[in-house]
Amino acid sequence: MPTGKTTAHFPSVRTFERPRNVDGSLARLADYFGANVFDLRAMAKKLSSHDLETISKVMKLGGKIDATLAERIASAAREWAIEKGATHYCHWFQPQTGTTAEKHDAFLWLDKNGYPIERFTGKELLQSEPDASSFPSGGMRSTFEARGYTSWDPSSPMFIMETENGRTLYIPSVFISYHGDALDFKTPLLRSNDSLNKEAVKTLHLLGEKNVTSVITTVGAEQEFFVVSREQAMARADLRLSGRTVFGKRPAKGQELEDHYFGHIPTRVHAFINELEVELYKVGVPIKTRHNEVAPGQFEVAPIFEGSNIAADHNQLLMKVLRTVGARHNFSVLLHEKPFAGVNGSGKHVNWSMSDSTGRNLLDPGNTPHQNLVFLTFLCGVMQGIYDNADALRASVASSGNDHRLGANEAPPAIISCFLGDTLDKILNAIEAGKGDNVSAERALLDLGVNHLQHVALDNTDRNRTSPFAFTGNKFEFRAVGSSAPISFPTAILNAAVTAGLTKVNAKLTARAKGGVVSPEAVFEILREVVRDTRNIRFEGNGYSQEWRDEAARRGLGNLADTPSALGVWTDTKKTQFLVETGTLTPTDLESRAAIQWERYIKQRLIEINVAVEMAQTGILPCTLGYLSELVALGDSAARLHISTPAQKLAGELGQLAVRFETSLSALRAGYDRVTSDDALDHHALPKTAKAIAEQLLPKLEELRTTADQIEALLPAGKWPFPTYQDMLFPAD
């Protein structure tokens, strides 16, 4: 049985160097960034100028690739990939499992004479047909209707992934059913980007900016994670199977001294992150920042902003490479939202904004009255979308792991609200109150003191860690996303919500337009209406407080405290109509995704309960009873010799805990059998089963854990059967 005893041996730091140039000198970062990406630079060496121009437009603006062009691109990609040592290709996609999927095919083919050749055709590039029956479908199709299709997404460039034994060409793809239903997370994101683009361009045209041709959403997703010794993680079944510790006593020192945040990066971790960054740079992931996070053993890396589709792909790559490179350094990288009780959990702050075809950030305050009207219009469009669709945004981040974070004193509450900062909040309050009435929009802005709003906003917008959706100078930070979650889905829901908000604003603008353009004065009046209508979604205070929960209830804001509560949103047609109207999800998509998320929550919780029962029965209870028998024997011996010893007192205390532990274990097993006695995964019973697990089983699991942690505090270190929190969170550097 593995023990929690630490040893004198620690894995050595993996020897690693940055890439070198041909002359042996160390390469600069810019020399190898994107070296394994078939981007426009690489394509320019393999395609004609006409083909390059065509694919460039498709990558930036969308569109389809015809069969003849696909043939030439496939030939160029094959030649480029083989030159770099690739032997296989795969369509890389995002099924609704939370991870990515890939099926590798060799470039190998046999000619008519049976001789081997290397081939990759346009048809093979455009589409593949993996067996879809084993992926989540939410009852969308029967097992015998197994066809699913991956289709190349040309807006996200192909790239080569390296392993120690080979290289493979990855083709970012969508995953759809035989009937065209979305089976993945990427398809809704692409749809939402298209709908937001159209509505945002319409807004700009109504504001007089006819030169703008497109708008994209941009994202920079911060990634938090824990790093622990791989040997210790593998010695704990809960970490291996569920991603979090279901038992574990808090160490004597946690994060109380606040000395880990932004502190010295431990040497072994630094070596790991150095290699991580090089691997990511080669596939074009622009990691910019690395630092220690708040909790011991916790770290963060963050990229430069990119278009949301590519940012989502890159975040999936980041999570994949974190694990593979971590293993090379004898680390297990934990992406679960709450792997350790008693210390901060991990989130994935999705920093989100919009950028138009001129390169302007639409959420960047300006230096002129017109620029500020544009900024305020889009700010109001965002607030309208969040106000109307807050519950769907909450549901988009719902998961069993995130239930450990949301609402705790380390993460935003489950109540969705917008934080704008004191200055912007005062400006909107003044607009609503009517300051600037009966004067020009320019005069109104001057009266508000915000003719140069850019400097005012940037200097006066603080970070509010308690807000789930905070404006931070020139972007919104969606802080409620969990660390293990693919960002594609919450970003798609956010895009759709903002699209719906802009649609409302555009209806008001269109009604006041003359010659297709709205006067600044009319825009100002419309902004006043939107500010008034969305006032309840704005909150500048402490989101952790009970006062805010009470106030949010008075405002009519939703408080979907856990996943079973949140997932009910997907079956409420009033709350999901905006997703259908924006084309983000179809009614069939919504029905299937609701079932998939219910099922995933149930399975994850049952895994946690099963692993807790196993660890309790085969590890904790035997070692507790073994030590108890030693104490009893020692006490009996001491009594016969008339020697005073604390063994009997300790035995009494441990005996009571052992009885309580066994009682809790029996109750948990009985509750598990009762909840799962019917077909727990029958699609009609999913909400009921999930609610029963949350209300009946999780409290029993917590009772079992509480007693186990008390037992751990009494057992000698060498007798506890698992690596402890202290072992894992405070290793030698």
Q: Please tell me the predicted confidence (pLDDT) of residue 441.
A: 52
3-state class (DSSP) for residue 350: strand
- Asked if residue 10 has pLDDT above 50, the reply is no
> What's the CA gap between 712 and 725, in Å, rounded?
11
- Asked if residue 312 has pLDDT above 80, the reply is yes
Question: Of 194-203, 536-545, 569-578, 657-666, which range is least confident?
Answer: 536-545
> What's the CA gap between 205 and 211, in Å, rounded?
8
Give domain limits for the chain: 33-184, 186-222+347-584
The pLDDT confidence band at residue 144, using thresholds 50, 70 and 90, is very low
Distances (CA, A) of 703 to 75, 403, 729: 61, 18, 24
> What's the CA gap between 695 and 689, in Å, rounded?
10
Q: Which residues pair with 295 in a beta bridge?
A: none
Q: Mean pLDDT over all residues of the chain? A: 89
The DSSP code for 482 is B
**515 in Cβ contact with 214 (< 8 Å):** no
469-471 and 418-419 beta bridge pairing: parallel
Question: Using one digit for the tens of pLDDT, what is the confidence trace for 607-629?
Answer: 999 999 999 999 999 999 999 99
CA 519, chain centre distance (Å): 41
**Percentage, residues of the chain above pLDDT 90:** 68
Nearest to 95 by CA among 52, 60, 56, 138: 138
Question: What one-letter code names the amino acid at 78?
Answer: R
> What's the CA gap between 342 and 339, in Å, rounded?
10
Q: Which helix (H) or strand (E) holds 660?
A: helix 647-675
Q: Sign of the CA dihedral 691, 697, 701, 703?
A: positive
- Asked if residue 7 has pLDDT above 50, the reply is no
- Asked if residue 709 has pLDDT above 90, the reply is yes
Q: Please tell me the predicted confidence (pLDDT) of residue 122.
A: 94
Query: Averaged over 250-269, what is the pLDDT?
Result: 84
Looking at 157-266, list the stretches that DSSP marks H as alpha helix, in order from N- to C-terminal side. Answer: 186-206, 230-234, 237-242
- Asked if residue 140 has pLDDT above 70, the reply is no
Query: Averaged over 269-292, what is the pLDDT?
Result: 95
Specify the pTM: 0.93
- Asked if residue 281 has pLDDT above 60, the reply is yes
The pLDDT confidence band at residue 680, using thresholds 50, 70 and 90, is low
Distances (CA, A) of 467 to 382, 417, 611: 16, 7, 34
> What's the CA gap between 330 and 326, in Å, rounded?
6
* DSSP E strand stretches across 327-416: 331-334, 350-356
Query: Averaged over 537-552, what is the pLDDT?
Result: 89
Question: Using one digit for the tens of pLDDT, what is the confidence trace for 494-513?
Answer: 999 999 999 999 999 999 99
The pLDDT confidence band at residue 460, using thresholds 50, 70 and 90, is very low
Question: What one-letter code names the amino acid at 444?
Answer: A
3-state class (DSSP) for residue 216: strand
* DSSP E strand stretches across 223-367: 223-229, 287-292, 298-303, 306-307, 331-334, 350-356
* First-to-last C-alpha distance (Å) of the chain: 27
Q: Which of 199-203, 260-264, 649-653, 685-689 has the highest mean pLDDT?
A: 199-203
> What's the CA gap between 185 and 492, in Å, rounded?
9
Does the domain at residues 33-184 carry the CATH identifier 3.10.20.70? Answer: yes
86-93 and 166-177 beta bridge pairing: parallel
Q: Please tell me the predicted confidence (pLDDT) of residue 180.
A: 79
H helix and E strand count, the chain: 26, 19
Query: Averaged over 257-277, what is the pLDDT?
Result: 88
